[in-house]
Amino acid sequence: MTRPLAVLGAVLALCGGSPALGEITRVGFIWHYPFVDVGTPRMPEAGAKMIIARAHWPALEPEEGRFEPASLRGQLAIARGQGVRIALILECNPFCAPPWVRRACASAGECVQAQDGSSEGIPAFDSPVYQRLVEAHLGRLMAFLAAEDAARTVSHLFPGIEWWFPPSWRGGDRQLARFRGWLGARYGSVEGLNRAWGSSFRAIDEARAPEADFPALWDARRSGLAQPTWTGRIGLPPTAEGRAAADWRLFWCETAARAIDRLAEIVKDLDPTRRTVSFMSHAWGFAAEWDYSQWAAISPDVVARLTPHIDEIGLQLPMAGGDTIRADAVIDLVRKARKPVWALDMMDFRLGTPCGPESLTRGSLAAVQQGAVGLAYCCWNGAKDFNIHPDWPLEQTRAMVTQSRRWIELLQGMERVADGALILPHAAASPTASGGRPAGPAAFMGWYRIIQSAGLSVDVVTPYEIAADPRLLKRYRWTLLPPGAALPPTVRGALDAYAASGGKLLRPASVGDPGVAAQPSLQRERSASDTPPMISGPAPGPELTAAFARGAAKLRALGAAQGRVRVRIVGQSGVVVGLTRHTRATSAAVCLVPRGGPSGPVTLEWTGRAPGALRAIIDGKAITPKVVRLGGLERVALPAFRTGCLLLSGTSAGTLK
């Protein structure tokens, strides 16, 4: 609505004495004050430069016409006293609405409905009553900040807390009408819809939404994907029902993205000077737990593309049993949007704080290695099994926070190099897949781990992105398509065009696929409270090492190339050390982060001239490594490290390319 004003407002704010965005360090804790006040005076000792605070709508407006900003004043006073900035979560999603707002929406018949017509009493995101009341609430909140935060302690705003759109919100005449309108825009006419679905509708208004029952996703005893049971047929041939299910899923993913952007647009219109950040709940499921992702209707690729009023991409990206694949792969996916990326709720969702500071430090550095510039740890205090304070000694927390922050600062302005692309064929369950189940994530996850074990680095690309931009893959020397991917004709055509134009399209055979061998079984586990059961990573061992070796050999045979930097692990077998390269005009960096445990010694070698002044930060301590020339190779031997190694060169970026 006011994008030019937003740009102008940001410029004026920066000229008015606020630090440039690059100087704002986005590393800190989710902080529940004043709702929880434990150890608040000790936060400065933990090294954070930003705290993520909550603007809770029911607390701010317990009654219509009554605005109570005492919680905001308290947050601002403490942040100023501690010399930190605030990223403020605007808890005004429909499910956050105070009781009086819920009653108003219910009276207007504007609450969400399940397919059976039942309602949870939550305002529908597209309710006109909710939209009017939330805009008025945000107007009062932004006016308060304008009046009482001239120092701009609040630098970032999250328009909404954890976003999700579960199946129990997707029923009712309002959503069916929206779906039919979406089909009309997508296919242009009933004839176009009939060609796509194999249907014989006389009008688009005859189309119906598929019906499905979702199982209990949070059962810690189950294994495998918990896919919905398709309970209602919609009078179409089986193949048409599958296409309808895929469209229903995409419709809700786009609905979610536009709802997120709509709230951000309201915030931007009211205050164009502060940066907006998304808070995508269940974003982690996109790489591993596809059933969670489908349940929440959150697709990071769709959100990244359809949210112009979101300045920075915030994703809920925890670890699970020390496994970082969820954050690694999803950051590799959204980084293409060229917006700052935050890893939110940084913690081990399977283990909680018993994972230990060393494991979470590795997870933090891995996120930074993939391109994250923001880290929000869950949490300072206020959630059972996730209280960094007092569960961990402050000196260990400070070491984690300061090392992660230092990496972000040193990599600022650099661009991460991608050796190739890996397609993530995220698929919804459909009535026509085997038993209503699509191909699972095992092949993708396995190949992602193999690529990391081979010292390669990729951008993750989805069929949705390829369909939106068929020329997207032309920027990559090679693209790997995991076996079993079900792709629409337009995407298959784009892949064929990519191969015809000289790109290497790598298609591993599905029989004996090493990607599946390198992926653990889909057994769900949890030990921490209030978290969904998540796939556990494999323990290092000979079988896994052999699977990685077979996969790396297959990559070489298929023609995947790393470029001019190679990494070789010496010693401890089974531990993958992720390698990424980062460049800018006058300097370059190589990041090495072990996955799942400490590394053994690492030898890094490349071709070309010596990189001149080479320095390294290993486990937070600076060293000057010795470079040895052997024939046409430059080689540096690095000692074993527990959390990560950042190797920096002050010469031209071409040296470590």
316 close to 279: Cβ distance less than 8 angstroms: yes
CB-side neighbour CA atoms (13 Å) of 13: 24
| Superfamily name with CATH number, domain 3-170+245-412 | Glycosidases (3.20.20.80)
553 close to 239: Cβ distance less than 8 angstroms: no
Q: What is the pLDDT of residue 24?
A: 77
Q: What is the pLDDT of residue 438?
A: 55
Coil, strand or helix at 640? coil
Q: Which pair of structure tokens corresponds to residue 423?
A: 């397609």
Residue positions counted in the chain: 657
Q: Which pair of structure tokens corresponds to residue 311?
A: 């300045």
How far apart are alpha carbons 399 and 17 in whole angstroms?
31
Q: What is the pLDDT of residue 588?
A: 87
How far apart are alpha carbons 160 and 276 in whole angstroms?
10
Structure letter (DSSP) for residue 562 = -
183 close to 247: Cβ distance less than 8 angstroms: yes
How far apart are alpha carbons 369 and 626 in whole angstroms?
23
What averages of pLDDT result for each successive group of 10 residues across the chain (657 residues)? 31 34 81 97 95 97 95 97 97 97 97 90 96 97 96 96 93 94 97 93 93 80 77 76 88 96 97 96 92 92 97 96 95 97 96 96 98 96 95 97 96 93 84 60 91 93 96 95 86 96 90 81 81 78 82 88 67 76 87 91 74 82 85 82 92 41
34: preceding bond cis by omega (within 30 degrees):
yes
How far apart are alpha carbons 85 and 19 in whole angstroms?
11
Q: What is the pLDDT of residue 563?
A: 65
Q: What is the pLDDT of residue 8?
A: 22
Report the relative pairing of strands 633-638 and 602-607 from DSSP bridges.
antiparallel
Q: Locate the domains of the chain by residue range.
A: 3-170+245-412, 185-239, 420-558, 565-656
> Per DSSP, which regions of 481-523 are E strands?
504-506
Single-letter residue type at 13: A
What is the torsional sign of CA 479, 484, 488, 489?
Answer: positive
Report the relative pairing of strands 229-232 and 211-213 from DSSP bridges.
antiparallel
Architecture of the CATH domain 565-656:
Sandwich (2.60)
Other CB atoms within a 10 A radius of the CB of residue 215 amount to: 14
Burial zone of 105 (CB within 10 Å; 0-12 exposed, 13-18 middle, 19+ buried): buried
Radius of gyration of the chain (CA): 25
Task: Please name which of 236, 256, 253 lies closest in space to residue 244, comparing C-alpha atoms.
Answer: 236
The percent helix, strand, coil of the chain (3-state, each to 5) is 40, 20, 40
